[in-house]
Amino acid sequence: QVQLVESGGGLVQAGGSRRLSCVVSGPPGSIFSINLMLWYRQTPGNQREWIASITKEGRATYKNAVRGRFTISRDDAKHTLYLQMNDLRPDDAATYYCNADVMRTPKDLVNYWGQGTQVAVSS
């Protein structure tokens, strides 16, 4: 079974930085390729919101609220997605989730979610 596992969450002071990682893993032969990869975040009582995405070709797109402060990147050799978060603000505090379109075979695409990693920002 393919899994996405996030890490890197924790408590950071406002203005500080944090780097989140998301590793896509599975049994040998279960991952043919990974297409679009995305980061979302969610706070209690609110819907999960998209914040950034990156294509297989490396083209990144950002939500206006994080553009210029957050950087999404990927290392396809390691099946890993990153989110570098700089100049963090209290309203960035949330549980961050990664999402990926995984080609299990050339004709079998499945979308997966990670379990989330929590980021807290102290003012």
**Is 18 within 8 Å of 121 (Cβ atoms)?**
no
Q: Can you read off the two tokens belonging to residue 18?
A: 């944090």
What is the model's pLDDT at position 70?
A: 98
Cα radius of gyration rounded to whole Å, the chain: 14
What are the φ and ψ backbone dihedral angles of 98, each rounded to 5 degrees? -100, 155
What is the model's pLDDT at position 100?
A: 98
What is the model's pLDDT at position 85?
A: 98
Per-residue pLDDT of the chain (123 residues; tens, 9 = 90+): 999 999 999 999 999 999 999 999 999 989 999 999 999 999 999 999 999 999 999 999 999 999 999 999 999 999 999 999 999 999 999 999 999 999 999 999 999 999 999 999 998
What is the model's pLDDT at position 75?
A: 97
What is the model's pLDDT at position 40?
A: 98
**With helix as H, strand as E and coil as C, how does the chain read?**
CCEEEEECCEEEECCCCEEEEEEEECCCCCCCEEEEEEEEEECCCCCCEEEEEECCCCCEEECCCCECCEEEEEECCCCEEEEEECCCCHHHCEEEEEEEEEEEECCEEEEEEECCEEEEEEC
What is the model's pLDDT at position 89?
A: 97
